[in-house]
Amino acid sequence: MTRVTLQLLTLLWAMTGTSTQTRSSCSVPLAEQPLVNGIQVLMESSVVNSAFPNPSILIAMNLAGAYNLEAQKNLTFKLMDSDTADLTVGQLALTIMALTSSCHDPGKKVSILQRQMENWEPSSLNIPASSFYGPSLAILALCQKHSATTLPIAARFAKSLRANSSPFDVDTGAVVTLALTCMYNKIPIGSEEGYRALFSQVLKNTVENISMSILDNGIIGNIYSTGLAMQALSVTPEPPKKEWNCQQTMDSVLDEMKEGKFHNPMSIAQILPSLKGKTYLDVPHVSCSPGHEVQPTLPSHPSRVPTSASNITVKYTINNQLRGVELLFNETINVSVKEGSVLLVVLEEAQRKNPTFKFETTMTSWGLVVSSINNIAENVTHKTYWQFLSGKTPLNEGVADYIPFNCEHITANFTQY
């Protein structure tokens, strides 16, 4: 082979997609592999008893290479049967990607989603950034199925993003980047230049904002947005001005993993692709050759320390200054729970001691959300919800995962997003 062809080949290689580049420049060290296998096994084992089938788990399983083939099959069949009428556009999009990643035809689901997105528009210019999260997933799923017919839908979507003035959200920015990168890569040659300019402008902006969310230790946003943000930064055709150190981010994620931060199956589903050098853009390219069960090497000791039997005291406040003039309340209670209990136990104990603290939960892909406290319920139309804080800092986990410490002051504050 001549030198010139070799150089040409290298050039072509460099151009064939940034995911190749990531895979070589950033990976899980061999010694940490059992840790990663461990969380994958944990995620896969959640499939058996889960209240509803979670498409994000199937996507992660297929991108990573599933260990539990029976769980994979069960989940695929449950998602095939799921009734699209009960799903939001985001959930429908994840279901389509999940079935695609299992090499199953999503059938009618794609045209249903397409119809819904043709009619989609933001209710105002200042809707919260996170309202674009589900629709971004929809653009991504449609892009992977019928990129040509999705072009005008994605363009309208990109324009409403550009016009929006709400504070930036890393998780949403990451999914926006994946969706618009998919579209950008599929603009037909000779098509209107306007599309390319529009998508690259919104991508540039979004990626710049993601890059400004990179902390000194490499975490992007918070630990739970880092997985999606890594996917975004590794595919974008508009790399950020400030160079991103993928390995540093990877190492920090692995450190937090050792601390036990990834036990929620959905949190694992969102980090696993990045740990395997994969992104949601790889969904249409998963190979589904009939696999055989592989036994992964697991960590030799459990990562979560057993809890002691002594009790701790948690101060718990419920505060509604928002809804129903005659319904305003601000109540505090001290409760004693076993050390190591999750916050949900504090809420249950408070409710048992004082009926004012009664609460209700709803099941979601991330687990239980506290939907109502003392008869005041969250409402999507009003953009209200119960936000949980430790002191003045919002928690970055839900009540079924967060473990309070002794004398901590937890507040549930009814507020708007």
Ligand X SMILES: *[C@@H]1O[C@H](CO)[C@@H](O)[C@H](O)[C@H]1NC(C)=O
> CB of 108 within 8 A of CB of 87?
no
Residue 113 interacts with ligand X (CB under 6 A): yes or no: no
Residue 288, class by beta-carbon neighbours within 10 Å (0-12 exposed, 13-18 middle, 19+ buried)?
exposed
Q: Which residue stretch of 94-102, 240-248, 301-309, 327-335 sits at the interface with ligand X (rule: CB under 6 A)?
A: 327-335
Q: How far is the CB of 413 from ligand X (least distance, A)?
A: 4
Helix (H) or strand (E) holding 394: strand 393-394
Number of residues that bind ligand X (CB under 6 A): 36
Q: Give the interface with ligand B12 as residue ranges (CB under 6 A).
A: 88, 90-91, 94, 130, 133-134, 169, 171-172, 222, 224-225, 228, 264, 267, 270, 364-370, 380, 385-388, 394-399, 401, 417
Question: And the tokens for 64?
Answer: 């990573």
Q: State yes or no: residue 361 binds ligand X (CB under 6 A).
A: no
CA torsion sign, 22 to 25 to 30 to 35? negative
- Give the three-class secondary structure for 25: helix
Q: Using CB under 6 A, which of 65, 112, 168, 403 touches ligand X?
A: 168
Per the structure block, which two tokens stand in for 363?
């099941």
Task: Report yes or no: 135 and 117 within 8 Å, Cβ to Cβ.
Answer: yes
Interhelix angle 226-235/170-185, rounded to 10 degrees, is: 30
270 is in an annotated binding site: yes
Contact call for residue 392 and ligand X (CB under 6 A): yes
The entry of ligand B12, ligand X, none near residue 96 (CB within 5 to 8 angstroms by kind) is: none
Contact 331, 318 (CB under 8 A): yes
The answer to whether the annotation marks 222 as part of a ligand binding site is yes
Q: Phi first, then psi: what are they for 358, rounded to 5°?
A: -65, 145
**Which entry of ligand B12, ligand X, none binds 273, CB below 5 to 8 A by partner kind?**
none
- For residues 55-74, which are near ligand X according to CB under 6 A? 68, 70-71, 74
- Minimum CB distance to ligand X smaller for 255 or for 408: 408
Q: Which residues contact 413 (CB under 8 A, 6 or more apart)?
A: 319, 386, 387, 388, 389
Binding residues: 171, 222, 270, 395, 417
Residues that bind ligand X (CB under 6 A): 47-48, 68, 70-71, 74, 129, 168, 205-206, 208-209, 311, 315, 319, 321-322, 330, 332-334, 336-338, 341, 345, 349, 377, 379, 381-382, 389, 392, 413, 415-416
Binding residues for cyanocob(III)alamin: 171, 222, 270, 395, 417
